[in-house]
Amino acid sequence: MATCTTFERKLLSYVEISKENRRGHLKIMVLIHYHTQRCNPRLRVVRCWKKPFFATVFLTFLMSAGFLFNSDNRLLRADDHLDFDGFNNETGANSLIVPNIIHFIRFNLTEYSFVDYLCLRAAFLRQRPDFVYIHTDVPEPEKGGYRGKYWNMIKKDKKLMSSIRFLPIQLATEIFGQPLSKDWQVYHGSDLARIRTMMKYGGIYLDNDVLVLQNLDKYRRFEISMNWDEGDSLGSQVIIAHKNARFLNRWLDSYHDYRPNIWYYNAGDLPIRGILNFHPELLHRVKGEFGADSKKSLKHFTEEGYEGWRKNDAIHLLVNHLYSVKPEDFKPLVFDEEMIQTYKFPFGQMAREVLAALNETDSNYF
Ligand SMILES: *[C@@H]1O[C@H](CO)[C@@H](O)[C@H](O)[C@H]1NC(C)=O
Ligand SMILES: *[C@@H]1O[C@H](CO)[C@@H](O)[C@H](O)[C@H]1NC(C)=O
Ligand SMILES: *[C@@H]1O[C@H](CO)[C@@H](O)[C@H](O)[C@H]1NC(C)=O
């Protein structure tokens, strides 16, 4: 797959998530694409032409496949009508039912920090998504709305750029008639936005400071996977879900009891007390692997030699909240690619591994 274009990967992923009985047809579509893109053309197309049946199907599809080239989204609608009644949260589905789309939500941000940059590129590198959807309230991000050094560095990654789609989003001001907290509007609004985004598209939602360590495909077989540590609240920094996941609807509905004065009530506490304690089967419960534990997150910036993070699939770095976790250990630091080379705490190692891997792929890109 190393030489595949975005479109090809999109098609292949469609094959993956489509139902059994449609697979035959879709393989043909992949062949068409190989043909049109002249990517291994002879080998594959010739093999196809030798079989009259396949040739006929091939031609039929060639004529009707035009629609596929027009719309990005249509490809990803394979399992639109999945109904999760009685779904098994332990064994999951046999195939990948969650689309391979990574979602980031960026309110009121025109620039990328080094950490944002690192997280975006690590997610793309390790997950190889078909698309990265950036939901943003900045107008015309591609025409000067987004700027700064790290955005310019992101723009150099042609593969990443070709998979990015900007989707306009507005910060909510109220929920079910209740105004959002003034001080925390961006945060509570972002909590709501991620639920609604998942209900609309499904995929892999990541906070801007979530560092992906491993490919997350194994979670794409579940209705919805989130981090819920023993005795802790729900971690909403990573959400891997199908858009029809039953929990999403109930979670949004629970905002009828919105508490503007409590930071994490609706995002993390109420969904457990009001929903998951009674219906744990609605969630594929991830204990630790998404790195939501704030005490552990702090170690990445304070405990030299700590290696606990290596068994994680992702980590919520919490860089913007380190102060609130343990004020006495807080030292304001601005991370960048220079200082990270000698940063002695675990986050330094994590970051250097991403940069080294990017360095390798970058030199293979062109
Ligand atoms: C957006 O950011 C600007 C500058 O950082 C700030 O002054 C403004 O209050 C922010 N808006 C919201 C809605 O948080
Ligand atoms: C699946 O749901 C059951 C309840 O039906 C729950 O006890 C269990 O912890 C859940 N497993 C996972 C992996 O989430
Ligand atoms: C990237 O690779 C170049 C040479 O290929 C090397 O000089 C440079 O130090 C590398 N940078 C990182 C961050 O590994």
pLDDT digits (tens, 9 = 90+) for 354-365: 999 999 887 655
Q: Which residues pair with 132 in a beta bridge?
A: 102, 164
Lowest-pLDDT choice from 84-98, 219-233, 294-308, 323-337: 323-337
What's the pLDDT at 366?
45
User: What pLDDT is stored for residue 328 in this prediction?
Assistant: 62
pLDDT, greater one: 321 or 278: 278
Average pLDDT for the chain: 84
Ligand in closest contact with the CA of 247? 2
Ligand 3 close to Cβ of residue 356 (< 6 A): yes
How crowded is the C-beta side of 210, counted as CA atoms within 13 Å?
29
Instruction: Indicate the range of 18-27, 70-79, 123-132, 181-190 predicted with least confidence.
Output: 18-27
Predicted local distance difference test score (pLDDT) of residue 1: 35
Q: Which amino acid residue places its CA nearest to atom 7 of ligand 2?
A: 280
Q: Which two tokens stand for residue 120?
A: 């975006």
Q: What is the pLDDT of residue 331?
A: 64
* Residues in Cβ contact with 70 at an 8 Å cutoff, skipping those fewer than 6 apart: none
Q: Which of 130, 134, 146 is nearest to 105 (CA)?
A: 134
Q: How many CB atoms lie within 10 A of CB 179?
A: 12
pLDDT band, residue 11 (cuts 50/70/90):
very low
Least confident of 38-42, 66-70, 286-290, 291-295: 38-42
| pLDDT tens column, 59-116 | 556 555 544 444 444 444 556 778 999 999 999 999 999 999 999 999 999 999 999 9
Residue minimizing CA distance to atom 6 of ligand 1? 108
CA of 355 relative to ligand 2 center, distance in Å: 37
Residue 247 has pLDDT above 50, yes or no: yes
Residue nearest to atom 4 of ligand 3 (CA): 359
Give the pLDDT score at 34.
43
Measured from CB, residues less than 6 Å from any atom of ligand 2 are: 89-90, 280-281, 283-285
Retrieve residue 127's tokens. 């997950």
Give the per-residue pLDDT at 362: 72
Question: Which ligand has an atom closest to residue 361 CA?
Answer: 3
Res 252 pLDDT > 60: yes
Least confident of 72-81, 146-155, 256-265, 282-291: 72-81
Comparing 64 with 305, the larger pLDDT belongs to 305
**Which ligand gives the minimal distance to the CA of 87?**
2
Average pLDDT over residues 332-337: 86
Least Cα distance to 287 among 366, 225, 352 occurs for: 225
Position 298 scores a pLDDT of 87
Q: What is the pLDDT of residues 168-200, one digit of tens each?
A: 999 999 999 999 999 999 999 999 999 999 999
Cα-to-centroid distance, 185 and ligand 1 (Å): 10
